[in-house]
Chains A and B, each alone.
Chain A
Amino acid sequence: MAYVFDYGAIVPYAPLIAKGVGITVELTVIGGALGVGLGIVCAWARSLGPRWLRPPVTLYVELIRNTPFLIQLFFIFFGLPSIGVSLGEMQAAILAMVINLGAYGCEIIRAGIEATPRGQFEAGASLAMTRIQTFRHVVLMPALQRIWPALTSQIVIVMFGSAVCSQIAVEDITFAANFIQSRTFRAFEAYIIATVLYLVLALILRQVMRSLGTLLFPRRRAAR
């Protein structure tokens, strides 16, 4: 049987798809920003933080990195209400993404921090910088610059992971595609459009991260 593509059938659903793109972008931006923040805190805790803080952070990182995002999401959305923590689907999705990216980001950023030569800490201290100042200016920024490409890839992976959030009725791109598929039976068209949208979003995200990188690390650009 030859299949005839009919993208015209999708046209009435354009607003739904546009809304889906908006939600996916929202999830990625909020989840990405908070996730990187959590990753920085955890990376600090695991490499420079107090000794008692290391085992719990390590446990968190290992637990998240060795379980599927889908199960994490279901645990947060379906499981937590039974112990009294009820979240809306958007909040649950964002929380799951932050927790997920936090663990992966922690490992990536930690690799950058541990590549900092010892002498740099001493140099920071000899300039009468406080520990926090040293961490921020001497350790963190060069570390972030070192691992920026890896962090970018991880955020793209998290954006692809966000497709799963459609399963808890977050109305993202995948949700729109599923909806169209169930209404029109135009599965190929719906999912191809969704796939292309993800592809384009990933390209845009990489470009944004590259620009953000040159903005965050302006003076060090020449050194690279």
Chain B
Amino acid sequence: MSPFTTWDILRNLLFAAEWTILLSLVAFIGGGIVGLAVLFARTGRNAALRRVSMVYIELIQGTPLLMQLFLSFFGLSLLGFDVPPWFAAGLSLTLWTSAFLAEIWRGCVEAIPRGQWEASSSLAMTYFEQMRHVVLPQALRIAVPPTVGFSVQVVKGTALTSIIGFVELSKASTMITNATFQPFVVYGLAALVYFALCWPLSKSSQILERKLNVAHRNH
């Protein structure tokens, strides 16, 4: 058996980080699409849909992500579906992301002055037309910094999928630790890889926010 060098450890962690990135992208894009649907339901005119989407958001934001992962991983397989870890991971992270994004975006939509809604509705626009042409283009501007900021939570959330056996950065760290008996080095390096993924996102969210505030002041 050849001994692991620090470089070997780092190289294997970087391989595993590809899965972290892929899962983050799936969750973020999928969550964005579902989140948009939830946003429409949450801010729309149908009272029943508003209630349902509110309960959905409250349930997901009000329970640990780990429980949602366990329910989809162990729960779905009891219903007779064969659920591989990657599917359970992708599904629960997508739903989790959608609830948070919908709530972030709702704040942005509600920041648009009432007059804009009234003006567009006096032009006989339907709700979707109002959202598409009047509200969303303006809400998008304020939505960008918090959305980018939330992507950091998604990347960190993927770490939990290691617990149901999805092999990404965290699971790989545990596996490498079991092989090398160097937890200090392995988890330290894993933390640095996560930091390298998340910090640029955090920073750009901050910079975007500052830029936006400058624009606000000039108005």
A48–chain B nearest beta-carbon distance, Å? 21
A80-B184, A187-B75 given; A71·B66 CB < 8 A:
no
Quick check: A191 and B183 within 8 Å, CB to CB? Answer: no
Is B29 at the interface (CB under 8 A from chain A)?
no
Q: Which residues of B contact A179 (CB under 8 A)?
A: none
Taking a contact as CB atoms under 8 Å apart, the answer to whether A79 and B187 are in contact is: yes
Interface residues of A in 157-212 (CB under 8 A from B): 160-161, 163-164, 167, 174, 177-178, 181, 185, 187-188, 191-192, 194-195, 198-199, 202-203
Contact, CB under 8 Å: B78 / A188: yes
Identify which of A65, A74, A83, A181 contacts B187 (C-beta below 8 A): A74
When distances are taken between beta carbons in the complex, the residues of chain B under 8 Å from A126 are: none
Shortest Cβ distance from B201 into A: residue: A66
The answer to whether A79 touches B63 (Cβ under 8 A) is no
User: Number of residues in B with C-beta < 8 Å to the partner?
Assistant: 41
Cα A167 to Cα B215 with chains together (Å): 46
Q: Is the CB of A82 within 8 A of B182?
A: yes
B160 touches A70 (CB 8 A): yes
Q: Is the CB of B65 within 8 A of A167?
A: no
A163 to chain B: which residues have CB within 8 Å?
64, 66-67
B128 CB–A CB distance under 8 Å: no
In the complex, the answer to whether B78 meets A78 with C-beta atoms within 8 Å is no
Separation of A164 and B170 alpha carbons in the complex (Å): 13
Q: Is the interface of B mostly helix, strand, loop or mixed?
A: helix
A68-B156, A191-B75 known; A167+B187 contact, CB < 8 A: no
Fill in one digit per residue for A50-86: 1 if any B CB lies within 8 Å of its CB, else 0. Answer: 0000000000001101111111101100111111000
Would you give the shortest CB distance from A171 to chain B, in whole angstroms? 15
Question: Cβ of B174 < 8 Å from any Cβ of A?
Answer: yes
B144 within 8 A of A: no
Contact of B63 among A3, A65, A75, A199 (CB under 8 A): A199
Return chain A residues, CB-CB under 8 Å to B71: 187-188, 191-192, 195
Q: Which residues of B contact A1 (CB under 8 A)?
A: 79-80
Q: Hey, which chain B residues are within 8 Å of A63, CB to CB? A: 191, 195
With most chain A CB atoms within 10 A of its CB, the pick from B65, B183, B187, B188 is B187
Chain A residues 84 to 121 lying within 8 A of chain B, measured CB to CB, are: none
Chain B, range 163-208, C-beta contacts under 8 Å to A: 163, 170, 173-174, 177, 182-184, 186-188, 190-191, 194-195, 198-199, 202
- Determine which of B62, B182, B191 lies in contact with A75 in the assembled complex, contact meaning CB atoms within 8 Å: B191
The reply to whether B70 and A177 contact each other, CB–CB distance below 8 Å, is yes
Interface of chain A residues 22 through 71 with chain B (CB within 8 A): 62-63, 65-71
Q: A79-B187, A181-B74, A191-B70 are in contact. Are A3 and B79 (CB under 8 A)?
A: yes
Q: A1-B80, A188-B71, A199-B62 are known contacts. Are A62 and B174 too (CB-CB below 8 A)?
A: no
- Chain B residues within an 8 Å CB radius of A161: 64
Set B74, B159, B188, B199: member contacting A79, Cβ < 8 A: B188
Decide: B74 and A66 in contact? CB cutoff 8 A.
no
A-B contact pairs, 17 of them (CB 8 A): A1-B79, A66-B152, A67-B195, A68-B156, A68-B160, A70-B170, A75-B191, A79-B183, A79-B186, A81-B183, A161-B64, A167-B163, A174-B70, A188-B71, A188-B74, A198-B63, A198-B67
Known: A70-B160, A78-B177. 6 other contacts (CB 8 A): A63-B191, A67-B191, A69-B156, A69-B159, A167-B163, A174-B66
- List 8 A-B pairs, minimum CB-CB distance, nearest first: A187-B74, A68-B159, A78-B183, A66-B198, A160-B64, A1-B80, A79-B184, A75-B187
